[in-house]
C-alpha cells in the first residue's frame, strides 16, 4: 500500500472525448505529483501541487490538460479532446523522505 489511490484503473475512450482521472492520498500530504508514462518509457513529470497551488507544469501539459487540487487533498487531471497520442499510464505520486510513492496509475487508451 503506497498511500495513493487512483481511479479509474483503466479508461478506454474515443478520440475527441474528455476524460478525468482522480488521485486520492490516504493521508495528508502538502505536495502531490502527476507523471505520464508511455509504453516502454520511464515516467515523465507533468505537474505538481503544493497544497491547492499548482506550482510547476511541464511542457508536456498542453492546453488540453488541466489539473486541480481544490482542497489540497485529492487531485484531478482532465484531458479535453483526447488524441491517440494521449494514450499512456497517468501516475500520481506523493513525496516521502527522499523518494516518491506512486499510485497504481490510470491506464488511458484512446481509440
Partner 1 sequence: SQQGEEDPQALSIQEGENATMNCSYKTSINNLQWYRQNSGRGLVHLILIRSNEREKHSGRLRVTLDTSKKSSSLLITASRAADTASYFCATDAAGSARQLTFGSGTQLTVLP
Question: Would you tell me which residues interact with partner 1 (CB under 8 A)?
Answer: 2, 4, 31, 33, 40-45, 48, 55-56, 89, 91, 95-96, 98-105, 107
For the chain, the straight-line distance linking the first and the last C-alpha, in angstroms and rounded, comes to 32
Distance of closest approach, residue 105 Cβ to partner 1, in angstroms: 5
Distance of closest approach, residue 86 Cβ to partner 1, in angstroms: 18
- Extended strands (E) in 14-98: 19-25, 31-37, 44-50, 53-57, 65-68, 75-79, 88-96
Cβ distance to partner 1 smaller for residue 3 or 16? 3
Distance of closest approach, residue 16 Cβ to partner 1, in angstroms: 26
CB atoms within 10 A of CB 90: 23
Distance of closest approach, residue 22 Cβ to partner 1, in angstroms: 15
Show the cell assigned to 46: 507533468
Cβ distance to partner 1 smaller for residue 91 or 110? 91
CB atoms within 10 A of CB 109: 13
Cβ distance to partner 1 smaller for residue 74 or 102? 102
Amino acid at each position: 500500500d503506497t498511500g495513493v489511490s487512483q481511479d479509474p484503473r483503466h479508461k478506454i475512450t474515443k478520440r475527441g472525448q474528455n476524460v478525468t482521472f482522480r488521485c486520492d492520498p490516504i493521508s495528508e500530504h502538502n505536495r502531490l505529483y502527476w507523471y505520464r508514462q508511455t509504453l516502454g518509457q520511464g515516467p515523465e513529470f507533468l505537474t505538481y501541487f503544493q497544497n491547492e497551488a499548482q506550482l510547476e507544469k511541464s511542457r508536456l501539459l498542453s492546453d488540453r490538460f488541466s489539473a486541480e487540487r481544490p482542497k489540497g487533498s485529492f487531485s484531478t487531471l482532465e484531458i479535453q479532446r483526447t488524441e491517440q497520442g494521449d494514450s499512456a499510464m497517468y501516475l500520481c505520486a506523493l513525496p516521502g523522505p527522499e523518494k516518491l510513492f506512486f499510485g497504481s496509475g490510470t491506464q488511458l487508451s484512446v481509440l
